[in-house]
């Protein structure tokens, strides 16, 4: 909190609250873009100054902002709120609008203005909002923000939405707003309007000569978001009648779902349909290695995107990890001695199963991380960063996927490499319970046995190495073959017992001890090695003379 140094003082033992400062100070300031950027950094780094106070409240000083406030507690929990007086002469009250990370500043200001309008009419803000929704129903944009508020944000809430998911939903809602549906009541949106939106988005994208895609994927995602919000609204919103009645009784996306244009059954191609076939691995690997030799343009100043994309795609192929998890991997999660990634604690939400995750790495996958560490660890904490060193490499990978696809004429996607890994694991007879753990596939409810199984990291690493060896062999990668170790398990005959028995018989026939017989056999082996031209009878005669 460097801007408000009058609130505290620094001593030799740490920070202390300044003399005369209240336990819950209120600071008047502008809650502008710079302020939000600084506050998010302070909350992420858990600024120790906040622990000196019960709470610190920042109050907006600009007009037309609903006198919005942000309160930060001593445990670094932030929320949007407003102060108000229910009627003149009554003590001041506060009303929480939302958690700080759940909604955007613009949405918070809108809620603050609505709450103050309700207070001016003599209503409590929560009652006014409930009555409005009960009589009219929410708009699409309001329904989305309500869903985000109810679910919360990870990792603050264990079952909340990821920040990347919220960002994507709001991006698609802004696209929907361009066609006039975002601020329209959900009870008034028709199937014709949704169908028209689905048809118009690709036309507008193509008319703009967009270099990325034809717009059909964006149209599908926008309609899928509308469908998700209607499914949520049907369960969420009810009238205040007794018994209550559902406010949202129809779903305008149903006609498109019936024809499988959108919805759960609209994808006619699975991830396995866009994976690399075993016969195509050699061609794909050659194009992937050619990407490493690509000459970058002058704009790549910090991290060369083609180098990171090369490592990213190769790592995904050799581990089967999801793209969303790869984009958030940090060097601090890597254990170079154990050759493993430890994704635990708050980082566990990178994984879809939402639990602590350990991934043993093959030698080649571990070498990729070491190479990335040597290349850009001083510029970024992320193993596979963007050009600026931030999280989110998957945004730039699509360009290089198209680059490879054009050269080898293989219709694959980055996520298809995950399917390739699983297919190769099955092809080289890796047990299904092992590769399910390697790719973070959750336990099935009916699979009781998997709840009792705990596989050792050494065994999992050996299986991961086996899949890597299978992929590289099919890709035609020339590697120095390891010498096979001869073990008792690989020997169909128990030679050790058989030789011991024969030496015991030899010792009995010669009237000597077993130890002496072993020594004679060892000497005989040395003689046979030094003089391969001599016959066995001559070697025995020499041995008897010694």
* Rounded CA separation 34/321 (Å): 36
Q: What is the pLDDT of residues 302-337, one digit of tens each?
A: 456 788 888 889 999 999 888 888 888 899 999 888
Mean pLDDT score, 349-372: 85
- Residue 302 is predicted with a pLDDT of 42
296 Cβ contact partners less than 8 Å away, ≥ 6 residues apart: 304, 305, 306
Q: What is the pLDDT of residues 379-410, one digit of tens each?
A: 888 888 877 767 666 556 777 888 888 888 88
For residue 503, give both structure tokens: 């030496």
User: Where do the H-state alpha helices sit in 439-513?
Assistant: 457-474, 495-510
- Residue 446 is predicted with a pLDDT of 46
Mean pLDDT score, 353-381: 87
Mean pLDDT score, 269-290: 81
Mean pLDDT score, 208-223: 75
For residue 263, pLDDT beyond 70: no
Tell me the pLDDT band of 415, cut-offs 50, 70 and 90: confident
- Residue 69 is predicted with a pLDDT of 94
- Residue 9 is predicted with a pLDDT of 82
Q: Contact at 8 Å (CB) between 306 and 294?
A: yes
Mean pLDDT score, 499-503: 75
Tell me the pLDDT band of 301, cut-offs 50, 70 and 90: very low
- Residue 484 is predicted with a pLDDT of 47
Higher pLDDT among residues 361 and 499, named by residue: 361
- Residue 479 is predicted with a pLDDT of 60
- Residue 66 is predicted with a pLDDT of 87
- Residue 494 is predicted with a pLDDT of 53
For residue 300, give both structure tokens: 């790549």
Backbone angles phi, psi at 304, to 5 degrees: -75, 115
Tokens 């950027």 belong to residue:
37
* Rounded CA separation 138/360 (Å): 48
Q: What is the pLDDT of residues 22-64, one digit of tens each?
A: 889 999 999 989 999 999 888 888 888 888 899 999 999 998 8
Backbone angles phi, psi at 498, to 5 degrees: -65, -45
Mean pLDDT score, 103-123: 87
Which DSSP string do the residues of 336-372 spell out, in sequence order? Answer: TTTTEEEE-GGGGGGSTT-S-EEEE--HHHHHHHHHH
Angle between helices 281-292 and 305-319 (to 10 degrees): 150
> What is the average pLDDT score of the chain?
81
- Burial-class residue 72 by CB neighbours within 10 Å (0-12, 13-18, 19+): buried
Residue 68: which of 106, 42, 23 has the closest Cα?
106
For residue 481, pLDDT beyond 70: no
- For the chain, helix, strand, coil in percent to 5 are 50, 10, 40
Whole-angstrom CA distances from 135 to 88, 121, 128, 187, 198 are 30, 17, 11, 11, 29
Share of the chain above pLDDT 70, in %: 84
**Cα first-last separation, the chain:** 90
* Rounded CA separation 262/241 (Å): 35
For residue 70, pLDDT beyond 90: yes
Mean pLDDT score, 410-421: 87
* Rounded CA separation 467/100 (Å): 45
Tell me the pLDDT band of 485, cut-offs 50, 70 and 90: very low
392 Cβ contact partners less than 8 Å away, ≥ 6 residues apart: 327, 385, 386
For residue 288, give both structure tokens: 């992937």
- Residue 308 is predicted with a pLDDT of 85
Angle of CA points 136, 137, 140, to nearest 5°: 130
Q: What is the pLDDT of residues 504-523, one digit of tens each?
A: 887 888 778 878 877 777 77
Mean pLDDT score, 102-124: 86
Tell me the pLDDT band of 370, cut-offs 50, 70 and 90: very high
- Residue 490 is predicted with a pLDDT of 44
For residue 72, pLDDT beyond 50: yes
- Residue 483 is predicted with a pLDDT of 44
Mean pLDDT score, 152-157: 78
């Amino acid at each position: 909190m460097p801007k408000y140094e009058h609130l505290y003082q620094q001593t030799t033992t740490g920070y202390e609250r300044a003399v005369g400062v209240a336990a819950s100070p209120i600071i008047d300031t502008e809650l502008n873009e710079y302020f939000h950027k600084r506050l998010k950094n302070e909350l992420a780094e858990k600024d120790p100054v906040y622990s000196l106070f019960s709470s610190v409240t920042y109050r907006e000083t600009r007009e037309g902002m609903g006198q919005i406030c942000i309160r930060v507690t001593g445990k670094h929990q932030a929320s949007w709120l407003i102060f108000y007086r229910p009627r003149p002469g009554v003590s001041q009250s506060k009303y929480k609008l939302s958690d700080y990370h759940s909604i955007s500043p613009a949405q918070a200001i809108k809620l603050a203005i609505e709450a103050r309008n309700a207070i001016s009419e003599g209503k409590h803000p929560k009652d006014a909002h409930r009555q409005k929704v009960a009589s009219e129903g929410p708009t699409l944009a309001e329904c989305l923000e309500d869903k985000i508020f109810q679910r919360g944000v990870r990792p603050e809430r264990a079952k909340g939405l990821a920040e990347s998911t919220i960002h994507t939903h709001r991006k698609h809602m802004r696209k929907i707003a361009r066609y006039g549906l975002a601020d329209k009541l959900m009870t008034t949106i028709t199937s014709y309007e949704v169908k028209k939106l689905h048809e118009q988005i690709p036309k507008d994208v193509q008319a703009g000569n967009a270099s990325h895609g034809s717009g059909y994927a964006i149209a599908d995602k926008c309609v899928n978001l509308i469908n998700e919000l209607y499914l949520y609204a049907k369960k969420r919103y009810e009238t205040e009648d007794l018994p209550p009645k559902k406010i949202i009784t129809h779903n305008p996306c149903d006609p498109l779902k019936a024809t499988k244009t959108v919805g759960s059954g609209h994808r006619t191609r699975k991830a396995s349909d866009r994976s690399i076939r075993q016969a195509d691995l050699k061609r794909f690997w050659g194009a992937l290695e050619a990407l490493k030799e690509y000459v970058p343009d002058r704009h790549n100043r910090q991290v060369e995107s083609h180098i990171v994309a090369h490592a990213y795609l190769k790592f995904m192929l050799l581990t089967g990890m999801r793209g969303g998890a790869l984009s958030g991997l940090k060097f601090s999660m890597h254990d170079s001695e154990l050759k493993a990634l430890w994704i635990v604690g708050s980082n566990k939400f990178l994984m879809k199963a939402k639990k602590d995750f350990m991934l043993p790495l093959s030698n080649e996958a571990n070498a990729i991380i070491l190479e990335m560490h040597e290349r850009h660890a001083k510029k970024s904490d992320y193993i596979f960063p963007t050009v600026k060193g931030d999280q989110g490499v998957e945004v730039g990978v699509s360009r290089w996927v198209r680059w490879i696809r054009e050269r080898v004429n293989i219709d694959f996607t980055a996520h298809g490499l995950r399917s390739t890994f699983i297919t190769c694991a099955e092809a080289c007879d890796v047990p299904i319970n092992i590769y399910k753990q390697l790719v973070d596939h959750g336990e099935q409810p009916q699979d009781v046995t998997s709840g009792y199984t705990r596989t050792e990291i050494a065994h999992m690493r050996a299986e991961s190495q086996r899949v890597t060896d299978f992929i590289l062999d099919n890709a035609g990668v020339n590697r120095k073959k390891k010498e096979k170790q001869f073990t008792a398990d690989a020997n169909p005959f128990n030679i050790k017992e058989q030789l011991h028995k024969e030496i015991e018989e030899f010792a009995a026939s010669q009237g000597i001890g077993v130890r002496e017989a072993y020594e004679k056999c060892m000497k005989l082996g040395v003689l046979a090695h030094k003089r391969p031209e001599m016959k066995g009878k001559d070697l025995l005669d020499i041995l008897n003379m010694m």
